[in-house]
């Protein structure tokens, strides 16, 4: 099994398209202002946005995008006018992260974890699963 696509709600598809293009995703589907799909510049995953009359409440959706250099990505996004909350931070789970929100309040986390993304020191082994 492989994760193909994640879809997030949006109250304004054209605004979301501009945001995700600035983030670095490539627009691949947009036939009307109720849906758009992007592909990530690396890998095979896609992200789509679909129009909703009312956005969900609460913390909402978290989307993690791994980048090679979080600090440089944050600088580039700020130059494009995207608000990033605070500075990149080294987390105790061995990732460097920066947080921002898309125009609809969906949580975006830019991070770099390298080998620790799938293989942290506390990873469960086959022996632990049995």
Q: What is the secondary structure of 70-93 as a DSSP string? A: HHHHHHHHHHTT--EEEEEEE-TT
Tens of pLDDT along the chain (130 residues) come to: 888 999 999 999 999 999 999 999 999 999 999 999 999 999 999 999 999 999 999 888 999 999 999 999 999 999 999 999 999 999 999 999 999 999 999 999 999 999 999 999 999 987 777 6
> In terms of residue numbers, what domain contains 67?
5-129
Q: Which two three-digit tokens encode residue 45?
A: 């995953």
Per the structure, the count of domains in the chain is 1
For residue 39, what is the domain's CATH number? Answer: 3.10.180.10
pTM (two decimals) = 0.91
For residues 82 and 103, what is the distance between their CA atoms, to the nearest angstrom?
Answer: 10
DSSP assignment letter at 53? S
């Amino acid at each position: 099994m492989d994760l193909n696509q994640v879809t997030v709600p949006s109250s304004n598809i054209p605004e979301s398209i501009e945001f995700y293009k600035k983030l670095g995703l490539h627009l691949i589907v947009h036939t009307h202002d109720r849906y758009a799909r992007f592909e990530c510049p690396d890998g095979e995953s896609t992200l789509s946005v679909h129009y909703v009359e009312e956005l969900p409440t609460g913390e909402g959706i978290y989307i993690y995008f791994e980048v090679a250099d979080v600090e440089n990505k944050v600088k580039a996004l700020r130059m494009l006018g995207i608000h990033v909350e605070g500075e990149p931070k080294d987390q105790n789970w061995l990732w460097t992260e920066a947080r921002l929100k898309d125009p609809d309040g969906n949580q975006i986390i830019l991070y770099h974890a390298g080998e620790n993304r799938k293989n942290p020191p506390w990873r469960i082994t086959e022996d632990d699963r049995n």
